[in-house]
Amino acid sequence: MAGILTINNLTKKFGPLTAVNNLSFTINKGNVYGILGPNGSGKSTTLGIVLNVVNKTSGSFSWFGGTISTHDALKKVGAIIERPNFYPYMTAYQNLKLVCKIKGIDFSKIEEKLDVVGLLDRKHGKFQTFSLGMKQRLAIASALLNDPEILILDEPTNGLDPQGIHQIREIIKQIAQNGTTILLASHLLDEVEKVCSHVVVLRKGVKLYSGRVDEMIASHGYFELKAEDNNAL
Ligand code: ADP
Ligand code: MG
């Protein structure tokens, strides 16, 4: 299997706090890879490091087997690490057109990507009229415009109602089935179980487990995780 992202002994310190502690795992092509842990466990910091927006303290990571620079690799990565932010008075279509212009992408992709996230019939709807779930779906369409090899999502269902959560999870699964590798950070065991094939479990920046989700469920430690999850992970 082709390596998409390899992380080796990665550590990030903020002053005295070790946010990510000697973390290693590998994402292969086709994986739907979860980073699971409670708030403050180092999920977003890990994503920030591999996206070159947070400086690591030590360790290393490499994209696509280290064959290309991180700068070039990140052109093949789609990421949503913040709340979706578009122009409120512009339509979904106009907002994506602007993204295409900025990134030098052909407009012909826009309708296809709106269709992937179930927003094609709302393409002329203004962003400000969209629900939070629709805004998140538009952000996903935007991140897919350049047909990335991997899509990175940080807590993609946070703040959504049950229907919005279900829709986003189904869309992520569909994108994965179409061949895009996924890296998804979540504090919800339930989300990882429903969506992910693989997972790295973090506590205070330390890895508790990495591997297949079905093997995690079959393992002893899963019951401890489940108990923690019931007490709000
Ligand atoms: P998660 O995404 O799992 O909730 P984060 O990666 O955001 O966790 O944070 C991990 C730890 O690092 C937390 O204790 C957080 O307060 C701390 N942290 C994150 N970013 C910074 C920063 N820029 N400065 C200081 N501490 C930070
Ligand atoms: Mg976070």
| Span 10-68, pLDDT tens digits | 999 999 999 999 999 999 999 999 999 999 999 999 999 999 999 999 999 999 999 89
Eight-class DSSP state of 125: S
Tell me the average pLDDT across 126-133: 97
Give the separation between CA 195 and CA 128, rounded to whole angstroms: 29
Atom of ligand 1 nearest to the CA of 12: 12
Question: Does ligand 1 have an atom closer than 6 angstroms to the CB of 14?
Answer: yes
143-157: pLDDT as tens digits: 999 999 999 999 999
Q: Tell me the backbone φ, ψ of residue 227, rounded to 5 degrees.
A: -65, -40
Ligand closest in space to the Cα of 36: 1
Give residue 214's pLDDT.
94
Give the separation between CA 13 and CA 196, rounded to whole angstroms: 28
Q: Tell me the backbone φ, ψ of residue 12, rounded to 5 degrees.
A: -130, 125
Question: Does ligand 1 have an atom closer than 6 angstroms to the CB of 42?
Answer: yes
| Residue 141 and residue 99 in contact, taking contact as beta carbons nearer than 8 Å | no
At 169, the pLDDT band (50, 70, 90 cuts) reads very high
pLDDT higher for 58 or 225? 58
| Ligand 1 centre distance from Cα of residue 211 (Å) | 24
Tell me the average pLDDT across 203-218: 94
* pLDDT surpassing 70 at residue 233: no
Question: Does ligand 1 have an atom closer than 6 angstroms to the CB of 36?
Answer: no
Give residue 136's pLDDT.
96
The Cα-based distances of 172 to 2, 156, 165, 169, 212 in angstroms read: 21, 10, 11, 5, 18
At 231, the pLDDT band (50, 70, 90 cuts) reads low
Ligand closest in space to the Cα of 82: 2
Give the separation between CA 147 and CA 119, rounded to whole angstroms: 18
At 199, the pLDDT band (50, 70, 90 cuts) reads very high
* pLDDT surpassing 70 at residue 183: yes
Question: Does ligand 1 have an atom closer than 6 angstroms to the CB of 45?
Answer: yes
| Ligand 1 centre distance from Cα of residue 124 (Å) | 38
| Ligand 1 centre distance from Cα of residue 160 (Å) | 23
Residue nearest to atom 15 of ligand 1 (CA): 40
154-168: pLDDT as tens digits: 999 999 999 999 999
* pLDDT surpassing 70 at residue 198: yes
Amino acid at 82: E
Long-range contacts of 163-167 (CB under 8 A, 24+ apart): 163/133, 164/131, 164/132, 164/133, 164/136, 165/133, 167/118, 167/133, 167/137
Helix (H, G, I), strand (E, B) or coil at 91: strand
* pLDDT surpassing 70 at residue 1: no
Provide the total of helices (H) and of strands (E) in the chain, helices listed first: 9, 9
Q: Tell me the backbone φ, ψ of residue 143, rounded to 5 degrees.
A: -70, -20
69-101: pLDDT as tens digits: 999 999 999 999 988 889 999 999 999 999 999
Amino acid at 55: N
At 219, the pLDDT band (50, 70, 90 cuts) reads confident
**Residue 210, token pair as written in the block:** 């990495």
Give residue 230's pLDDT.
67
Task: Determine the Cα angle at 108 with ends 104 and 112, to 5°.
Answer: 115
The answer to whether the complex's ipTM is over 0.95 is: yes
Give the separation between CA 43 and CA 121, rounded to whole angstroms: 34
Q: What percent of the chain has pLDDT over 90?
A: 88
Eight-class DSSP state of 78: E
**Residue 115, token pair as written in the block:** 């269709």
Read off the pTM.
0.95
